[in-house]
Amino acid sequence: MSEMNGPETVPHHFLRQVRSRGAGDVALRQKEYGIWREFSWQASWEQARSFGLGLRALGLARGDHVATIGDNDRQYLWAYLGLQAVGGVQVGLFTDATAEEAAYIVDHSDARFVLAQDQEQVDKMLAVRERIPKVERVVYWDERGLWEYDEPWLTSYAEVCRLGEALAAREPSRFEEEIGLGRGKDLAILCYTSGTTGRPKGAMLSHENLLCATAAFTEVDPLLEGDNHISLLPLGWIAEHAWGVAPHCVHGMVINFPESPETVRENVREIAPQRVLYNSRLWDGLLGTVQARMAESSWLNRKMYEIFLPVGRRLADRKLAGEAVSPGLRLAYAIGDWCLFQPLRDKLGFTKLRAAYTAGGALSPDAMRFFHALGINLKQIYGLTEVTGSGTIHWDGDIKFASVGRPGGGVSVRTDEDGEIQIGGPTVFRGYYNNPDATAEAIVEENGERWFRTGDAGHIDEDGHLIYLDRMKDMITLANGERYAPQFIEGRLKFSPHVLDVMAVGGPAQAYVTALIIINFDNVSSWAERQGIAFTTFADLAQKTEVCELIRQAVDEVNADLPPTSRVRRFVLLPKEFDADESEMTRSRKLRRDVLYRRYAEMIEMMYAGQAWIQVQTPVRYQDGSEAVIETDLRIVDSSAQGRQQAPAAHQ
């Protein structure tokens, strides 16, 4: 094996783990047919070598781009490591990307090869083949349904590996030599932004960026030998690169792949990882699930929940404020932990958890307090694709629910005179691929340092914590000159187990805030059944008088803690969820506000016109491609901040 001065790349670290752990230690697990299969570091090495050299045999050159689309699993990981080992650049796509969305990224990234998991993903590529002329070969690894495809453009994963094995037989040291050629400055991945305001941009991130981000995170929470990671987050998002693949190679963390999206919670419980990173939407969903399940539980469980959750909150508040905890409070919490919190953590798969993290949007202080009350050490991370997912993070003993933490690992954070957050340090990206104008706009060069302009509004408090407010462009000024942060309001409303999504509305032409709200159908339908409320569809349930009152109570609770100018005075319960396939959200579940404002313009106008009802026709596109139109009458509901509005007689 060729010797290196020191590991500079992710494959360098992978090689070091293989040399030290070999066939004796588990590198990864994947659950299949109800059984957890284990694979050693040596097995991973052999698979990555075969695939990487197979790509080289097909003509992949150093610096070439390979687009990948599919669910996280062992073949995806081996292909990722193999292509990077021979100098390739990984371009991740979201698994649920449409053919059109995938075509744009594949073509814009100049990918020569596409790694597509199965028939569904292959069909997307075939549908847009004319739009991705630079792609020389599509490689698939799940062959089900593809046996009858007679298309030379398609190649199986197994065939690529056979080509690699033949090359390895001729040149036994070739793979290690390829790894040795890599340098930290080399491009490792092209990670595309979510595209909330336009076309996604490809952030160029080096191996050095990935390794520095990993170092920054593990400085806060070190990884220990044998720690388990559940690979849940899509590789179209930066988080799994910096929190999954890179730490796996640097620290020898074991990666575990769930059997399917439907079995994730069960599989997490089986593995009981030491740390988890979920996006804020997943945490909101877990919170809603816990609240709903407790509401449906036995009388005894509900009573324990009512008694001990406030105890947990008091203990969390005192500990995080650095205040002394009385013996009585400690005893009360110990009792609550034994009879309530431990069983809840077990159900969530968090029995061995040292730290949990939320990213991809700020989680409300209420939600943070809730999980800490359960004994879950939940921390906020503030990071963006352009800074390799790093920025700020909560440190143990220094957690503020209203902040997103402090920087670490050589990362610097500041705000400019307009309140825009800027991030500097070794995790700052090289720029946007094929977009020098956007790069120049995003980067500030100052005294030899590069600072990324995040486009986010915030400020740094007296303890060095970053307080995130909202996107700069989304901070809205009302007609009366008052400003408000929509995301803050939305986060507070989603603390309710009955609210799935919400968009706060209001601008220079309006004098107050309104909202478009989507109910959590699972939780609200369970509640309605317990109340004896009959309903047929999502749209029908959302317009029930009792449901409107239920959500009004949630709005009133949030309004009580908001400044008068930021209070939601009217709202509408939409007849369907926001949908990424209809461009209402990005694939990372961020609202596309401009699209939503246009789509619901009439509804918004009616809320400000004082109307009590509105008749709408909403186009819906189903997964099979068919379309339909939902016609319904929607209530416009007044919060207590506005005063109750009587519905027209025709709708009584």
Output the pLDDT for position 318.
86
Query: Most confidently modeled of 386-395, 495-504, 609-618?
Result: 386-395
CA-to-CA separations, 155 to 109, 115, 158, in angstroms, rounded: 21, 10, 8
Q: At what angle do helices 280-296 and 521-531 cross, to 10 degrees?
A: 10
Mean local confidence (pLDDT), 535-554: 92
Residue 167 lies in a domain: yes
CATH of the domain at 500: 3.30.300.30
Token pair for residue 575?
Answer: 């007849």
Is residue 172 over pLDDT 60? yes
Do 484 and 378 reside in the same domain of the chain?
no
Token pair for residue 363?
Answer: 């989680």
Q: Please, what is the end-to-end C-alpha distance for the chain in angstroms? A: 80
Output the pLDDT for position 642.
66
Do 454 and 479 reside in the same domain of the chain?
no
Q: At what angle do helices 486-493 and 545-559 cross, to 10 degrees?
A: 120
Give the count of beta carbons closer than 10 Å to the beta carbon of residue 224: 11
Is residue 34 over pLDDT 80? yes
Residue 212 lies in a domain: no
In the DSSP assignment, the letter for residue 197 is S
Each residue of 95-107: pLDDT tens digit?
989 999 999 999 9
Output the pLDDT for position 102.
94
Residue 197 lies in a domain: no
Output the pLDDT for position 625.
65
Each residue of 284-325: pLDDT tens digit?
888 888 888 888 888 988 899 999 999 998 998 888 878 888
Residue 2 lies in a domain: no
Query: What is the percentage of the chain residues whose pLDDT exceeds 90?
Result: 60
Residue 247 lies in a domain: no
Do 150 and 72 reside in the same domain of the chain?
yes
Do 340 and 465 reside in the same domain of the chain?
yes
User: Coil, helix or strand for 436?
Assistant: helix
Do 54 and 93 reside in the same domain of the chain?
yes
Is residue 337 over pLDDT 80? yes
Do 493 and 366 reside in the same domain of the chain?
no
Residue 311 lies in a domain: yes
Do 458 and 568 reside in the same domain of the chain?
no
Mean local confidence (pLDDT), 629-638: 82
Is residue 522 over pLDDT 90? no
CB-CB contact of 188 with 209 (8 Å) = yes
CB-CB contact of 67 with 93 (8 Å) = yes
- What is d(CA 444, CA 456) in angstroms, rounded to the nearest whole number? 15
CB-CB contact of 300 with 532 (8 Å) = no
* Coarse DSSP helix, strand, coil percentages of the chain, rounded to the nearest 5 percent: 40, 25, 35
Output the pLDDT for position 369.
85
The pair phi, psi for residue 425, each rounded to 5°, is 125, -175
Is residue 39 over pLDDT 90? yes
Is residue 623 over pLDDT 70? no
Residue 59 lies in a domain: yes
296 CB-near residues (< 8 Å, 6+ apart): 526, 530
Given 182, 198, 214, the domain boundary residue is 182
Token pair for residue 42?
Answer: 């040596």
Given 471, 498, 513, the domain boundary residue is 471
User: 247-283: string of b/e by CB count within 10 Å (b at 16+)?
Assistant: bbbbbbbbbbbbbeeeeeeebbebbbbbbbbbbbbbb
Is residue 652 over pLDDT 50? no
Amino acid letter for position 278? Y
> If you average pLDDT over every residue of the chain, what do you get?
89
Do 289 and 436 reside in the same domain of the chain?
yes
Binning pLDDT at 50, 70 and 90, where does residue 197 land? low
Lowest average pLDDT, out of 189-193, 392-396, 584-588, goes to 584-588
- What is d(CA 205, CA 242) in angstroms, rounded to the nearest whole number? 11
Mean local confidence (pLDDT), 519-541: 90
Give the count of beta carbons closer than 10 Å to the beta carbon of residue 167: 19
Residue located via tokens 């990984």: 90
Do 389 and 495 reside in the same domain of the chain?
no
Each residue of 340-355: pLDDT tens digit?
999 999 999 999 999 8
- What is d(CA 453, CA 444) in angstroms, rounded to the nearest whole number? 7
Given 142, 163, 182, the domain boundary residue is 182
Output the pLDDT for position 195.
67
Output the pLDDT for position 645.
39
Domain that holds residue 367: 278-471
Each residue of 395-432: pLDDT tens digit?
988 888 778 899 988 899 999 988 899 999 999 999 99
Q: Which is nearest to 226 in space by CA: 250, 252, 256, 246?
A: 252
Is residue 205 over pLDDT 90? yes
C-alpha 488, offset from chain centre = 18
Binning pLDDT at 50, 70 and 90, where does residue 3 land? very low
Binning pLDDT at 50, 70 and 90, where does residue 651 land? very low
- What is d(CA 493, CA 520) in angstroms, rounded to the nearest whole number? 12
Is residue 222 over pLDDT 90? yes
Do 639 and 499 reside in the same domain of the chain?
yes
- What is d(CA 389, CA 237) in angstroms, rounded to the nearest whole number? 9
Do 132 and 67 reside in the same domain of the chain?
yes
Do 431 and 283 reside in the same domain of the chain?
yes
pTM: 0.78
Residue 103 lies in a domain: yes
Domain total in the chain: 3
Radius of gyration of the chain from its Cα atoms, rounded to whole angstroms: 26
- In DSSP terms, 190 is beta-bridged to 91, 204
CATH of the domain at 460: 3.40.50.12780
Output the pLDDT for position 644.
42
- What is d(CA 240, CA 383) in angstroms, rounded to the nearest whole number? 13
Task: Please tell me the number of Cα atoms within 13 Å of 495 on its side-chain side.
Answer: 23
Beta strands in 366-465 (DSSP E): 378-383, 391-393, 412-415, 420-424, 431-432, 443-446, 449-460
The pair phi, psi for residue 81, each rounded to 5°, is -65, -40
Output the pLDDT for position 89.
98
- What is d(CA 379, CA 376) in angstroms, rounded to the nearest whole number? 9
